[in-house]
Amino acid sequence: MKGSLKFLAIGALTLMLGACSGGEKQEVLDTGRVYKVGTTVEYPPFESWENGEIVGYDVDVIDAVAKKIGIKYEWKDMNFDGLISALQFKKIDIVIAGISSTPEREKVVNFSIPYYKSKTAYIMNKNNPITMEELEGKSFGVDLGTSYETTARSIEGAEVTPFSSTAGTLLALKSQKVDCILVGEAVASEYVRNNPELEIFGYGEGEECSIAFNKDDIALQESFNKALKELEADGTLEKFQAKFGF
């Protein structure tokens, strides 16, 4: 997914760490609290709007975990590049948005064990075909703050344009303003299914998607990890993935 994976403004957040951490560690799960779950509802089949409700794989995962550990929650739809900052400053309590755990991110938030692994898909417009051997010097559209931005910038001579919304990234490719966009494989399949002029022409190394928590919410992180292990062991995660065509 977006990755799940995603590169955020970690340097700036690290500088602010002292101002927003160091609170009381929550080592006992508070089941009377309504937890705010931050996400970005632009990435079907992970998150999307349907009849005024958020649906998708990530939604099913959160709901299954919440039932196992006995908590209530509510969704907060936000721009992806603001999720980690909001979590750090406790405007939200949980982030699920295809985010991968990296050493830089681990400086400012905690992560669960992985709940999904996604390859990176390369998508082109059929009217402007390219191959994986022709990436050098091409133009790339990516969602701002994602790990796909980092991947694109590692390509020699790449011209990378970050967009603040998935709609902007997709439109840039459809209108041939960029040669290629990078997204997670499940999201890419949805894009291609709904936009016949687009095509996946290759895959790159993927990333493991995890759920993020504020540094102070120790019990919440531990409870999620236990529940995710159980959902993996009993086949629930695999069932959810099959439901959404992974």
Residue 208 or 218, more confident: 218
d(CA 230, CA 220): 16
The pLDDT of 108-134, averaged and rounded, is 95
Q: Are strands 198-214 and 109-111 parallel, antiparallel or unpaired?
A: antiparallel
DSSP state of 43: B
Q: Full-prediction pTM beyond 0.85?
A: no
In degrees and rounded to multiples of 5, residue 213 shows phi and psi of -140, 155
pLDDT > 90? residue 166? no
Point out the least confidently predicted range of 10-24, 63-77, 205-219, 230-244. 10-24
Which alpha helices (DSSP H) does 29-183 contain, by range? 57-69, 83-88, 103-106, 147-153, 166-174
pLDDT > 50? residue 10? no
| pLDDT value of residue 100 | 84
pLDDT > 70? residue 139? yes
Residue 81 or 62, more confident: 62
| pLDDT value of residue 2 | 52
